[in-house]
């Protein structure tokens, strides 16, 4: 058995609030039969358009990613972390791209990478958890606002509350954006040891609505069935990943392997609509230059391989890529050769549906708020673009308000 097989066979799966560790667990043929969905029915709802979310977790330093080259104020403020202008790859007369993003720079030059600048939200929060909760719910109240924005999107796309999952998360935990009271989600990662979720409510296929509406007996019956389903090997997922033959070589990194699995899932016939992958490590309080450069190289090599792999295929050309971080870093660096939690930062959009170029406005270094950049683009504008322009879903039904779209999608 290869390292890849071991990694996949010992994944953790979460479906509709379940946490199962160990062998591949998804939704079985029996579960589909109970939901009234045969294998043929699954194929009939194969998605026309899909979304790939890439989280740069920890707070990506946007000022070391998209660097304002003529801004001497930046280099004065960054004694230890400032990037040398001569080492940047010019985007225009004002901006330069981190030299370690050379593969993505080529994608940008070819018109395949969109960069949205100054992305953030009002009254920014410097907590990783709170800020991600705001991003994941698209609401300043965070988790108190209810389901995540992807959960709401899937509820719009599948209003009957289909038991077959359409959201897949590759990582250690489900991003809150996928949380739904009605729709199941799959999350998997390699656990350190086999174990079963100890949360009494952590059972596959049992939603909050089931728990509220069902009797004790009916809920227990659903739990028993869900446990059986969650511990059943999924032929579909095994085949999707195990038989996948990428058209390019992915880098030998955790991100590279996760991106390859994401490509397999998004191009499979198991009903994926949204897949999420996380690249960790962006909380660069210390030794930022070395750490951030390595992350940029890993991101560039991995994401460019993913884009080359899927481009030109029928399903691959229907994948929209959105990469984001919970916040940026402060303008000035600290005494530990790093930077602390900040506010605004860049987003990336890519894939065949994306229209490359610069969007938004670079946050001013002359107009700071207590040492932080002031955001110029509300992240919910990007979400509204994805919802309305890509999935044809009214943004108000997910975001609770209307936001001006950003023209990063091809007509």
What is the model's pLDDT at position 400?
97
Identify which of 240, 275, 236, 204 has the alpha carbon closest to the alpha carbon of residue 12.
Answer: 204
**CA 38 to centroid of chain Cα atoms:** 29
What is the model's pLDDT at position 209?
53
Whether the predicted model's global pTM rises above the 0.75 cut: yes
What is the model's pLDDT at position 162?
63
Tokens of 346: 């860049």
320-to-354, 387, 390 alpha-carbon distances in Å: 7, 11, 8
What is the number of residues in the chain? 411
Residues of the chain with pLDDT under 50: 1-47, 190-208, 211, 219, 222-233
Within 8 A by CB and 6+ apart from 26, the residues are 13, 15, 165, 186, 229, 230, 232, 234, 236, 237
Sort residue 36 into left (φ over 0), alpha (ψ -120 to 50) or beta.
left
Identify which of 292, 297, 243, 248 has the alpha carbon closest to the alpha carbon of residue 270.
Answer: 243
Identify which of 229, 230, 227, 279 has the alpha carbon closest to the alpha carbon of residue 258.
Answer: 279
CATH class as words, domain 3-399: alpha beta
What is the model's pLDDT at position 269?
81
What is the model's pLDDT at position 197?
30
What is the model's pLDDT at position 177?
97
Q: How far apart (Å, rounded) are the C-alpha atoms in residues 167 and 136?
A: 14
């Amino acid at each position: 058995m290869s390292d890849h097989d071991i990694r996949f066979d010992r994944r953790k799966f979460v479906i509709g609030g379940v946490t199962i560790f160990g062998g591949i667990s998804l939704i079985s043929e029996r579960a589909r039969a109970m939901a009234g969905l045969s294998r043929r029915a699954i194929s009939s709802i194969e998605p026309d358009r899909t979304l790939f979310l890439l989280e740069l977790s920890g707070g990506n330093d946007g000022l070391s990613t998209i660097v304002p080259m003529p801004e001497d104020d930046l280099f004065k403020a960054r004694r230890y972390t400032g990037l040398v202008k001569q080492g940047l790859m010019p985007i225009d007369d004002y901006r330069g791209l981190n030299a370690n993003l050379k593969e993505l720079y080529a994608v940008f030059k070819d018109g395949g990478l969109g960069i949205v600048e100054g992305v953030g939200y009002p009254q920014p929060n410097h907590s990783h958890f709170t800020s991600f909760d705001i991003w994941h719910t698209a609401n300043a109240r965070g988790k108190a606002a209810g389901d995540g924005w992807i959960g709401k999107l899937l509820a719009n796309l599948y209003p009957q509350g289909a038991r077959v999952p359409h959201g897949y998360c590759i990582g250690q935990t489900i991003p809150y954006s996928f949380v739904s009271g009605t729709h199941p989600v799959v999350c998997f990662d390699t656990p350190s040891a086999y174990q079963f979720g100890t949360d009494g409510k952590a059972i596959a296929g049992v939603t909050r609505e089931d728990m509220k509406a069902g009797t004790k007996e009916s809920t227990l019956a659903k739990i028993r069935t869900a446990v059986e389903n969650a511990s059943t090997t999924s032929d579909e997922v095994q085949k999707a990943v195990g038989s996948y033959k990428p058209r390019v070589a992915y880098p030998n990194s955790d991100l590279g392997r996760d991106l390859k699995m994401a490509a397999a899932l998004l191009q499979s016939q198991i009903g994926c609509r949204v897949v999420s992958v996380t690249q960790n490590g962006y909380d660069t309080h210390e030794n930022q230059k070395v750490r951030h450069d390595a992350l940029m190289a890993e991101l560039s090599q991995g994401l460019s391989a993913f884009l080359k792999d899927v481009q030109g295929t029928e399903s691959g050309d229907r994948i929209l890529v959105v990469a984001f971080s919970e916040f940026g870093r402060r303008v000035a660096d600290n005494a530990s050769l790093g930077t602390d939690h900040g506010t605004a930062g860049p987003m990336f959009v890519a894939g065949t549906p994306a229209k490359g170029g610069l969007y938004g406005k670079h946050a001013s270094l002359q107009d700071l708020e207590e040492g932080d950049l002031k955001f110029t683009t509300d992240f919910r504008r990007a979400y509204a673009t994805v919802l309305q322009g890509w999935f044809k879903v009214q943004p108000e039904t997910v975001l609770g308000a209307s936001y001006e779209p950003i023209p990063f999608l091809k007509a």
